[in-house]
Amino acid sequence: MPVKTYREAINEALHQAMADDASVIVLGEEVSGGAGCEGSRDAYGGVMGITKGLLPAFGEERVIDTPITESAIIGAAAGAAQTGLRPVAELMFMDFFGVCFDQIYNQAAKFHYMFGGKSQCPMVVRCTTGAGWSAGAQHSQNLTQMVTMVPGLKVVCPTNAYDAKGLMLQAIKDNDCVIFVEDKMLYDTSCEVPDEMYTIPFGEANFYREGSDLTIVAISNPMHKVLAVVDRLAEEGITCDVIDPRTTSPLDEEAILESVETTGKLLLVDEMTPRCGIAADISSIVAEKAFSSLRAPIRKVTAAHSPVPFAPNLEQAWMPGDADIEAAIRELVEYV
């Protein structure tokens, strides 16, 4: 099977979905790049290069470079979604949700319910998240929890190229507003990805590793830190269930609960601030529904409760790190 990067996998999904369904459009800032300029169009193909090649393939009618105007981009996508198109809107950095959040959570998320099931909003909002580039306090935040808490939104956070393609194709087919969260640290990671179209259903967790000492649930880039640590500790005989929910809404509670029932111990890892994050959310679900299975306190490794600092050493300290993850695993394993 061909090996593709996370970036290539999402790009391929967009190409295939647009070829497959004429109602799919892409819009956002620099999704092509070069609009109105003397030089070449498709100059960027998105600031992360994810939408590269779509403009030459599908034209300006379906690949729309917008001014810098997030409220109108997301609102236009929502309005178009209600009226026959399947827009994939790019928000560039997840931090920019702040500019257009009304169009997401008061508009797109609520149409179907508020209008008694008579309106649908089949749109995807793509955004880049995550720290690690010293991009500062307004270009590094993972705000997955903010969209996960909104009823009506579906939230996808792929951790590998295979999932990214299958989840993107599912997101475009889905009839609800889907927030597609791409971790910027993962774009260059690669794995085997089939050439043909395939979908991965929402709400189905992926078990990266299986084991018996404890259950680890991780979201986005921190998953790869977890895997590195877990594989190292496997040499000492420590084995873990490592679960990637793949979508935080819907959440595959069953997979997590079943695992905790056998291991009795749970570690949650994400790169969000600790209060009201995904780790905190899953922790409450497990405490409520699998209390009798727990043989140790639930542990969370998250980012610190501060804005993301700029200085690289502070940023590293802010993020959940390998050492924090290893310490938490050891603590849980030793807990009797």
Query: Which residue type does 206 have?
Result: N
**According to the binding rule CB under 8 A, does residue 149 interact with other proteins?**
no
**According to the binding rule CB under 8 A, does residue 151 interact with other proteins?**
no
Contact yes or no for 50/91 (Cβ under 8 A): no
106: partner contacted, choices other proteins, ligand TPP, none (Cβ within 5-8 A by kind)? none
How far is residue 48 from each of residues 16, 85, 214, measured CA to CA in Å? Answer: 19, 24, 36
DSSP, collapsed to helix, strand or coil, labels residue 167 as: helix
Q: Decide if 139 is catalytic.
A: yes
**According to the binding rule CB under 6 A, does residue 29 interact with ligand TPP?**
yes
**According to the binding rule CB under 6 A, does residue 70 interact with ligand TPP?**
yes
* CA max distance for the chain: 69
Taking the least distance from each CB to ligand TPP, the nearer of 187 and 202 is 187
Q: What is the number of other CB atoms lying within 10 angstroms of the CB of residue 236?
A: 9
Residue choice 5, 47, 261, 294 for contact with other proteins (CB under 8 A): 47
Q: Which stretch binds other proteins (CB under 8 A): 5-13, 147-155, 182-190, 304-312?
A: 304-312
Q: Is the dihedral of CA 89, 93, 96, 97 positive or negative?
A: positive
The single residue of 15, 139, 224, 305 carrying the catalytic annotation is 139
State the number of CA atoms in the 13 A half-sphere of 240 facing the CB.
32
Q: What track of x and - describes contact with other proteins for positions 114 through 133 (by CB under 8 A)?
A: -------------------x
Q: What is the DSSP string of 170-190?
A: HHHH-SSEEEEEEEGGGTT-E
Residue choice 16, 33, 216, 302 for contact with other proteins (CB under 8 A): 33
Q: Phi/psi at 39 (nearest 5 deg)?
A: -80, -155
**According to the binding rule CB under 8 A, does residue 312 interact with other proteins?**
yes
Residue choice 18, 27, 44, 333 for contact with other proteins (CB under 8 A): 44
Q: Phi/psi at 319 (nearest 5 deg)?
A: -75, 155
Q: Which stretch binds other proteins (CB under 8 A): 93-101, 212-220, 240-248, 291-299?
A: 93-101
Structure tokens that stand for 333 in this block: 């394993």
Structure tokens that stand for 272 in this block: 């969000």
25 beta partners = 87
Q: Which stretch binds ligand TPP (CB under 6 A): 92-100, 174-182, 197-205, 298-306?
A: 92-100
Residue choice 65, 90, 182, 281 for contact with other proteins (CB under 8 A): 65
Residues acting as catalytic residues: 139
In the complex, the residues that contact other proteins under the rule CB under 8 A are 29-30, 33-41, 43-44, 47, 65-72, 95-96, 98-99, 133-139, 304-307, 309-314, 317-318
In the complex, the residues that contact ligand TPP under the rule CB under 6 A are 29, 68, 70, 92, 96, 99
